[in-house]
Amino acid sequence: MLLEFQTMTEEEMYRMVHGVYSEGSIINAKWRHPEKEDLSREIQEEEQYFKTFLREKFFPQERNRYYVLEVDEHWVSALRLTKIDDFYYLEALETAPEQRKKGYGTQIMEEVIQLLKKRGPVIIRSNVAKDNWASLATHQRCGFQIEEENGINYRNGEQRDTVYGLIYQGK
C-alpha cells in the first residue's frame, strides 16, 4: 500500500529512520568519522539530523511529500518529492536492506508515477550516483532517461559530477 505524507509524527519518523533509512545513517556516520570504530553515538546523531531535516525543512514546505510503500505492515521503501516549477524533484529513493531485490523500489516509483498522472502530465527529475547501478536500473525500468551527465541538486542549484541527472516525462 502506498502511503503519502505531508507531515509525520515522531513515531512515524522513528519508524522510517530505523527501518527504510537505517543503512544511510550508518554510511553517513562512517563517512563523517572514518577514524572511529564505535559509531553508536554518531549513528544516533545522523538519525537525529535526518528527523530534524524532515521536521524543520522538508515538511514545512507545502509542495513536499514523502511516499512510503508498506507491505504486510512493514515500511519497505520510501522516496520524497518536491514540486518545483513544472516538475517534481525525486530524492531519497531507498529500500530497506533486508527488502532489496524484491522489486519494491520499482513498485513505489510506478505507484507514485500513476498517482501523479491522475493529476495531469508528469515530469520528474532525479539524481543517481554514477556507481549506483541498482538505482539507475530501477529508474530506467520506470521510464527515466539520463538527461544530464552531471546532475543538478534542484534544492540549491549545485551541479555534481558524481551523479547522473535523470528525467521522466509522462502523460
Query: In this predicted model, what pLDDT tens digit does every residue of 55-78 receive, in sequence order?
Result: 999 999 999 999 999 999 999 999
Place of cell 527504510: 20
Q: What angle do CA 60, 109, 143 make, to 5 degrees?
A: 125
Q: How many domains would you assign to the chain? A: 1
Cell of 19: 527501518
pLDDT tens track for 10-44: 999 999 998 899 888 999 899 899 999 999 999 99
Cβ proximity of 128 and 135 under 8 Å: yes
Cβ proximity of 125 and 87 under 8 Å: yes
pLDDT of the residue at 78: 97
**Of 59, 67, 80, 75, nearest in space to 9 by CA:** 59
pLDDT of the residue at 105: 96
Cβ proximity of 80 and 64 under 8 Å: yes
pLDDT of the residue at 73: 94
Report whether pLDDT(93) > 80: yes
Q: What angle do CA 65, 156, 145 make, to 5 degrees?
A: 70
Residues forming beta bridges with residue 84, ordered by sequence position: 87
CATH number of the domain that 60 lies in? Answer: 3.40.630.30
Please compute the mean of the pLDDT values over residues 73-101 and round it to a whole number: 95
pLDDT of the residue at 170: 86
Residue 19 lies in domain:
2-170
pLDDT band at 155 (very low <50, low <70, confident <90, very high): confident
Report whether pLDDT(156) > 90: no
